[in-house]
Structure 1
């Protein structure tokens, strides 16, 4: 097989990265661009043997990496951040072609955030991992964050590099070693990341990449008896499979799963602001777990809100994501396209009213789906995660009904509310069942803040100290004031 591909002018190695070297595979899988449904490359397809080799390399590298002083690990991660920043254009071009996301978003926000994932956790490790001693009844208690071991990280296709480094950053900063299984629908920037980390001085075996499908590479990785942590972002059904595979080994899990998040718009809201936030839900063609797909609008303003949203969403420019003027690109795959279209068709058959869109963009063809706004939604599209450019609008009469309807979901990832009443904002945000609540804003979070969901939206929290709670084993060592043969204790 050809071990390299030129992707929009960028040379990408298609082999695995295991133990500090490139490892080929006898088997490959096709990586297809959603922009035109053309094959980009044939990528190495890993299996149990590749997973075994990667986990063994990570285990062998762990003692030396864990023993490295935090400041030295952090210095390497800061060099990695520098390397990311130096390659923002290459990374943007590759990921845009690979999963169809907007190149302007990568250049201005996503790839700088990738670099920040390394830089911020390098900084935070130096603060968090040196915990002050405690004292109880003249005994000294030393609290330490010991690296957990080998971390398996499995990432999704909608923001593959950013979501991978959000886990890789704290894991490496904590002193863990990593085996990454990137998404088969968008694997290429993981290979470029391996190059960046190697150039930054990450030792052989500390970071490994095994490409392939969930069945062939993901399954043996999550069931591996020498894996100490599993971090997964993806669907609820896949999370269930991973949980069952990890259960015999009693491996701690961090799951960031789906959502069916509400956007609550009260009659005292700044309507321009509310509509702007609503239009943001079509970003990345709606393929965002945090997306507020359920819009709950107070009945007195529902008609005006709907009309404004339809007008603004209709003006979004669909097309090639490599064009800086494009607002919405294609969906990631034919299978995903058909899944979303199925949701919309069934909703219409069930009585939903199409206010905008409602089907493919016939002018562009391919995997381009029109921004879609539905009112009077049926049960399925109101409760199931669609993960596409589709939103529903329902009305409520008053605040208690708004909260009740917002919480009427098995998910609990995020919620957004728009109101001009500060006291209402405090009341409602307190009562919403969500890991993150945005008030008069959207998609704002410091990396030191917790992130995660309730219910079927996940297990655990990451970010800041919560990341190190997961990627470390927290130890309390208690020292007695008596029994010492020298005078140095205490």
Structure 2
């Protein structure tokens, strides 16, 4: 069993002020795979103090030097990528091949993208002829608290830590206590890259403890949080007293509008995309709205695709989905699936209980509901599991109304051969992102939503600018 009780504070691995063991559960086996410690106020205070002491020198460090340290972190990852994949697989249940090919590579992909964005940054710019001599200067905001989730652990850690460092901020990271092993390994990368002491710090803990302590700490200038909408609201309230900047990347209930001219492949793609990562993605296309002429065939396709998705332990090689992260999530998903049955949706595939032949682990049956009606719990609530709901629509206006009738607004999806219609819908859908016809957003685009999905803009130039504040200066010339 792995024992990782120390925190990374001030460039050193230090013991917690008050030992408080916390088991990390392998979701494939329900057995303890590691033990960490949960921090308390003294640990948080020490980490913030280290970051505060390091901030002036780090903020004054030349940009090319900061860039060099980040390149060093990338080199550490490249040398130890397999360790990262193994850590992610065991802590949150990502199948090992998926961890190697999708989860762990987020580190290198995001670092390379941020380094590219850095080349496009304008740190000092003039305001033109209408304000001669006036300059707008961008400077680091200060000490930042970074709170990250378990579902895409390195995706979110890298989207926060790297732009903060490039911006000139110092930081304290609180990773999810459900999936801390990958973040502890990331801290080793930072240390071995030679990043100066205090610039990056890590304290393990839960939201009620270390999360709240960071959110209320007077020496923390900003909180960047990814997680549930409920927790995002609590963090906003906690941060209000000290007038922190708060950026939130929260939940989603993405609508996938499939028009008849998109064809059967669009349906298959939508089902597989939802099931990816066992449905544990805030931008998952969890509501499939299908134009009536294609609907009956789409229902059959979705059933066939879902029944063909294998479920297996994370350590097993191959193309399959793994478990969800813990018992709490499993129970929540079971409750929502049962609500879909009770409210009269048509269960096409899956359902409640463990998959056939499985007697342990937090595995969920790949599930598809058809004939879902607006207002059903499975249509309204974020399930965060491998559960797809399908609904027919008659007109474009009807599809748009249903898609926008949600508190969330992260990612919506449009599948149609009609480019004019696609562009029209992209402008009318209420979300931070719109993905069309299965094509991903290009390099350098941000990730973020609106409404109850938060307002963060992570990635690209926007991701770095979130950690900067602007200053107007006169008579620069």
Using the size of structure 2 for normalisation, the TM-score is: 0.95
Q: Which residue of 2 aligns with 1:413?
A: 410
**Match 1:55 to one of 39, 48, 52:** 48
**Is the 8 Å Cα contact of residues 143 and 476 (structure 1) preserved in structure 2?**
yes
- 1:35-50 alignment runs, 5 A limit: 35-50=28-43
Is it true that 1:159 corresponds to 2:152 in the alignment? Answer: yes
- d(CA) in 2 for partners of 1:436, 1:173: 25
1:16 maps to 7
Hey, what's the Cα distance between the residues in 2 that align with 1:326 and 1:362? 18
Instruction: Give the equivalent residue in structure 1 for 2:359.
Output: 365
In 2, Cα distance between equivalents of 1:384 and 1:223: 29
**3-state DSSP class of the match of 2:23?**
strand
The question of whether the paired residues in 2 share the 8 Å contact of 1:85 and 1:112 is answered with no
1:125 deviates by 2.4
Q: Which residue of 2 aligns with 1:381?
A: 378
Query: Are the aligned partners of 2:4 and 2:37 in contact in 1 as well (CA < 8 Å)?
Result: no
State the partner residue of 2:181.
188
| Partners of 2:142 and 2:170 within 8 A in 1 | yes
Task: Give the Å deviation of 1:65.
Answer: 0.7
Count of residue pairs the alignment pairs up: 471
Write the distance in 2 (CA, Å) between the matches of 1:118 and 1:239.
26
1:4-35 Cα shifts (integer Å, max 9, x gaps): x54xxxxx743111111112221111111101
- 1:137, 1:389 → 2: CA distance? 55
1:484 corresponding residue in structure 2 = none
Change (3 A) 1:67 1:126: farther
Corresponding residue number in structure 2 for 1:168: 161
Separation in structure 1 between the aligned mates of residue 264 and residue 306 of structure 2, nearest angstrom = 15
- Structure 2 residue runs of 5 or longer lacking an equivalent are none
Structure 1 residue ranges without an equivalent (≥5): 7-11, 481-489
| Distance in 2 between residues matched to 1:362 and 1:219, nearest whole Å | 41
- Within a 5 Å distance, the mapping from 1:134-149 to structure 2 comes to 134-136=127-129, 139-149=132-142
Contact 2:355 2:363 in 1 (8 A): yes
Q: Which residue of 2 aligns with 1:483?
A: none
Tell me which of 427, 432, 435 is aligned to 1:430. 427
- Displacement, 1:454? 1.1
Map 1:225-304 onto structure 2 (within 5 A). Answer: 225-304=218-297
CA distance in 2, matches of 1:460, 1:45: 27
Q: CA deviation at 1:211?
A: 0.3
- CA deviations 1:100-130 (Å, max 9, x no partner) are 0122122223322212322322332243143
Tell me the equivalent position of 2:437.
440
Q: Give the whole-Å Cα distance in 2 for the aligned partners of 1:141 and 1:272.
A: 55
2:104 matched to which residue of 1?
A: 111
The residue number in structure 1 matching 2:209 is: 216
Distance 1:135 1:340 in 2: 55
Q: How many angstroms apart in 2 are the aligned matches of 1:460 and 1:330?
A: 28
**Counterparts in 2 of 1:141 and 1:448: CA distance versus 1, 3 Å:** farther
2:472 matched residue in structure 1: 476
Across the aligned residues of Structure 1 and Structure 2, the Cα RMSD in angstroms comes to 1.5
Deviates more, 1:220-229 or 1:362-371: 362-371
Judge conservation of contact 2:146–2:224 (CA < 8 Å) in 1: yes
Deviation at 1:144, TM superposition (A): 1.8
2:398 counterpart (392, 401, 406): 401
Contact 1:71-1:126 at 8 Å conserved across structures: no
Q: Secondary structure at the match of 1:427?
A: helix
Q: Please state if 1:466 is matched with 2:462.
A: yes
Q: Deviations over 1:380-434 (max 9, x none)?
A: 1110101001010000001111111111111111101111111111111111111
Q: Shift in Å at residue 362 of structure 1?
A: 3.7
2:339 to 321, 342, 346: 346
Matched residues in 2 for 1:122 and 1:265: separation? Answer: 36
TM-score, with structure 1 as normaliser: 0.93
Give the superposition deviation at 1:338. 0.6
Name the residue aligned to 1:486.
none
Contact 1:146 1:474 in 2 (8 A): yes
**Alignment match, 2:447:** 451
CA contact (8 A) 1:80 1:115 kept: no
2-side partners of 1:473 and 1:397: how far apart? 48
Moved more, 28-37 or 108-117: 108-117
**Is the Cα contact below 8 Å between 1:18 and 1:205 reproduced in 2?**
yes
Deviation at 1:349, TM superposition (A): 1.0
Q: CA deviation at 1:295?
A: 0.7
Partner of 2:349: 356
CA distance in 2, matches of 1:186, 1:33: 10
Q: Deviations over 1:71-110 (max 9, x none)?
A: 1100110111111111110000011000001221222233
